[in-house]
Structure 1
Amino acid sequence: MEYVRVCSTYGAGFWYVPGTDSCIQLSGRMRADYVYVEPKNGRTDAYGVGNGRYKDATGIKARARLNVDVRTPTDFGTLRAYLRFQIDKNTGNQGTGSGALVDKAYIQWAGITAGQAQSFFDFYADDLNWGSFGGNAGSDASTNLLAYTATFGSGFSATISLEDRGNRQINANYYDVAGQRLPDVVANLRVDQDWGSAQLSGALHQLNSGTIYNPWGGSWGTRVDTAYGWAVQGGVKFKLPQLGAGDVLWLQAAYADGALSYLGITGNNTTGKVVNTIADGYIVNGDIKTTAGWNITAAGVHYWTPSVRSTLWGSYTNVSYDSPVKLDNALFRDFNVWQVGSALIWSPVSKFDIGVEVLYGRLERNRFDVVDYNAPIYVKRSEDSIQTRLRLQRDF
């Protein structure tokens, strides 16, 4: 009879698969969130009358996650297969019903990463914040990809990645998106040192349309030219052991044109009477006009004691449309999104957290963008909201 043996080559938690030289680690997470979102009176009819009582102010999210990590030594380095399977059960303002997904499923070998993995554009990727308001605090996407990473020693590396365009499209129907001809091309330069890490990322995003444009009408004409969106991002992560063991500070900034997903935007944003329609591009006079924006994010965690820590994070996103787009369609208006949040977390035992996060968000649209039916003229509108979240989480 062959007994299971500990495999210390790849860190804690690995053990040898009996009869092989492969090591496996099983891990996972159970999480329960209890969420309150301040209800707002939104526009529900032609006269701007809304009733926040029809909206769920409270909600519950339950999440179960299983990770399987298998590693085998080869002549060309470690062969790794990684799977993360996740099931959610949501109610109230967290949505309804259950959902199961493969969040990660990839193979790594000899510098190659293939499958469903974290985008190589991402850096901070919502590491500390729990909730969000109108999108993530920055780019955070799990996507299908094929990538190659070259390592140069001393913690330096570079990656080139082909990633699924479909996971990065925002309201692509506004430019009549055609079939994918070119996946998103993502590249990064990264350094990991004792003091922390830093990364510079870039992405190219194709916007191709199936529309035939004829300014005089009719079924004939010329096809709308393909446009290309792009994004750049720089980030740094500082380890701050002089303040407390485990203390970290994240700083990140990004700019995108025609590729708003790389700013952390996930779709339309609505708060009360302020309704944002967001799209990467829009066709005006036979051309795709791309939408530009930028984002900055800062986040930190401080350990007051080994079992008590707090987080503080914030982000600001600014998006602007070309004048021809705003003249052609009143739905598209420049806007800003502010997010600020903080959490206090207690770990009574190892890998078990009990915490509360409070999040403030504010959505602003430029003046003359929103109709206030209680006023005689168009006025500037903005709305804010507060979320609170109680979380219990057990990792194993």
Structure 2
Amino acid sequence: MTGRSWAPHGAISLVCLTALFAPRMAEAADLPVKAQATENVKVCAAYGPGFYYIPGTDTCLRVGGWARMDTYMNVAAIFSQGSAFGGPGYSPFAFPFRDAHDADYFTQGRGVAEIDARTQTDYGTLRSYFRGGAEWDSQSGPGKGPGPALYIERAFIQFGGLTFGYTQSFFDTGIGYSIATLFAGSNTWNTTAAYTAEFGNGFSASLAVEDAANRTTGVQATGVSITGVTSPSDFPFVSGGTGAPLLYSNYQAGQQTPDFVANLRAEGAWGMVQLAGALHQVEAMPPAYLGSAFIGSSSTGQWGYALGAYTEIRLPFIAAGDSLYLQANYSEGALNYAGLAAGNQNRLQAIGYIPLNSVGLMSGAYYPLADAVMGPDGSYEMVGAWAIQGQFRHFWVPQVRSAVFGGYVSVDVPTNVVGAASFAMWQAGVNTFWSPVRNLDIGAEVVYTAVDGSRPLGITNAVSASGGVIPTLVGGSANAVSGAVRIQRNF
């Protein structure tokens, strides 16, 4: 053998082929690669219809919502602040006054998205839920024109029997067959931290800590009653277009303790029964004229409470979908638990409706609302209230349903507080909805509302922080008919 190098014949062939095709292989590498097929969305049957697995995860998701248009005539919640809106022009009179300056109707468009995400874990289902959106109002506030607003109904997390976030108060059931929120009875959304224990066969119990601010009405200070009046010119706080103060002096202190809520519940194919109770702290600050360093420097507290009983009875033997709903509430120092709220998200400090005629004479009613009332000596007593409510829904045919509903609420203010006034309020209404296709509702509603008080409409001197007097309107009786038309598509 010489020292000349050599290679097997196959190796030479491989080298030649590599040299020949290497440029073309490089060109092929620059060509786009065909993408892999995306993972198909899979149905998640564990939580009911409409749920799908989020691709690449074990979380099930359902997305839905609704779009709605409402038209309210004579203002659906005519007795509450923020509902008797004046138009964008000038008027010296605000709530509770009504005159030709106020619109006879307003419209609202609202769109809401619903997102429900659930994941099965070793500790049970982990759930997060959101429902909210935005709305457009033809009157965005007293004396204002059209405008948009954000809207939220739910934002909560559930895990292992625990609930954290913003949702229906655990004192309530959230059942309602009417467009209007009835003044009698409790139906409030709130921020809560709760635990629910399931005992089987539809029995459960819940304990909740809920934000007291959403249930706090106030502490009313009153003074010496003076003569009644019949004309707006007799109101020094109305003349000149100031329109204030109509509300009482509010000595509500900052809330220190949340509300404690508990319920017992049983439900099944027959319907539902729930018993509920709540503790609500009433915090009042002493007036400065009684010697406190400055108003708001200290406070005293008492505990109010509320009780509620609810039942929904399903009546399929009359027609499929028929049901009867009943509610009864009692509160002492916790007025919002008995009702008198014009929506699921508000708490009122006054109820009233005072129509003004062409010569300026007044009639109607106006009553401040409070958890407690304070006398000139700084001591305060709880305000009691009780309410009953009934609703019945009937399906004439699967596409047409009607509901009749009504309620009565009585507010008992301690008689030894000068200038305070007890009153009662009741409502009755009827609506009918037509669903020409699935998930589309077209309906109209009429509601009669009346308030009857224990004293004539007139002026009471409320006590100011300095010990002076503030003229405050109180008393009277009034009634009104209002209506609403709703078109809503759920998806």
TM-score in terms of structure 2 length? 0.72
Q: Secondary structure at the match of 1:167?
A: helix
User: 1:67 matched to which residue of 2?
Assistant: 114
Given that 2:185 and 2:387 are in contact with CA atoms closer than 8 Å, whether structure 1 keeps it comes out as: yes
- Whether the aligned pair in 1 keeps the contact of 2:140 and 2:147 (CA below 8 Å) is no
Is the contact made by 1:224 and 1:288 (CA closer than 8 Å) also made in structure 2?
no
Cα distance change of structure 1 residues 347 and 155 upon mapping to structure 2, 3 Å threshold: same
Which residue of the partner structure matches residue 240 of structure 1?
A: 315
Q: In the TM superposition, what is the alpha-carbon distance from 1:51 to its structure 2 partner?
A: 6.1
1:194 Cα offset (Å): 1.5
- Cα distance, 1:369 vs. partner? 5.0
Identity of aligned residues (%): 35
Paired letter, 1:183: P
Q: Which residue of 1 aligns with 2:374?
A: 283
**8 Å Cα contact 2:421/2:455 also seen in 1:** no
RMSD of aligned C-alpha atoms? 2.7
Cα distance, 1:5–1:357 mapped onto 2, change above 3 Å: same
User: In the superposition, relative to structure 1, how do residues 137 and 31 fare at CA in structure 2: closer, same or farther (>3 Å)?
Assistant: farther
Tell me, what secondary structure is at the counterpart of 2:47?
Answer: coil
Q: Which residue of 2 aligns with 1:376?
A: none
Match of 2:452 in 1: 364
Question: Secondary structure, in 3 states, of the residue corresponding to 1:344?
Answer: strand
Residues in 2 aligned to 1:190 and 1:58: alpha-carbon distance in whole angstroms = 40
1:130 and 2:218 aligned: no
Find the counterpart in structure 1 of residue 432 from structure 2: 344
Count matched residues.
Answer: 377
Matched, 1:306 2:398: yes
CA deviations on 1:301-351 (whole Å, 9 max, x unpaired) are: 1000010000011010100101132x1xx3x31111111111011000001
Matched with 1:195 is: 270
Distance 2:444 2:106 in 1: 15
Would you tell me which structure has more strand in proportion to its own residues? Answer: 1
Contact 2:253–2:283 (Cα < 8 Å) also in 1: yes
Q: Partner amino acid for 1:350?
A: R
* Residue segments in structure 1 that go unaligned for 5+ positions in a row: 372-378
Query: What letter corresponds to residue 44 of structure 2 in structure 1?
Result: C
Is 2:358 aligned against 1:270?
A: no
Query: Does structure 1 retain, via aligned residues, the 8 Å contact 2:285–2:299?
Result: yes
Matches within 5 A, 1:163-178: 163-172=210-219, 174=249, 176-178=251-253
**Residue number in structure 1 paired with 2:483:** 388
Q: Is the 8 A contact 2:218 2:251 kept in 1?
A: no
| 1:273-297 C-alpha deviation (Å, 9 max, x unpaired) | 3111111112222323111101000
d(CA) in 1 for partners of 2:298, 2:288: 6
Query: How far is 1:223 from its partner?
Result: 5.4
TM-fit CA distance, 1:224: 5.1
Could you tell me which residue of structure 2 aligns to residue 375 of structure 1?
A: none
The 1-side partners of 2:475 and 2:250 are apart by 28
Do the aligned partners of 2:400 and 2:435 also contact (CA within 8 Å) in 1? yes
When the two structures are superposed, what TM-score results if normalisation uses the length of structure 1?
0.88
Displacement, 1:89?
1.4
* Alpha-carbon contact 1:68-1:83 (below 8 Å) kept: yes
Which of 285, 292, 300 pairs up with 1:210?
Answer: 285
Q: Give the conservation status (yes or no) of the 8 Å contact 1:63–1:88.
A: yes
Shift of 1:176: 2.5
**C-alpha spacing 1:36/1:368, structure 2 compared with 1 (3 Å):** closer
2:219 and 2:374 in contact (8 A); partners too: no
Structure 1: distance between partners of 2:292 and 2:141: 46
- Is 1:29 aligned to residue 66 of structure 2? yes
Structure showing greater relative contact order (alpha-carbon pairs closer than 8 Å, 6 or more residues apart) = 2
Distance in 2 (CA, whole Å) between partners of 1:252 and 1:28 is 28
Contact 2:115 2:130 in 1 (8 A): yes
Q: Residue 109 of structure 1: which of 159, 162, 181 is its match?
A: 159
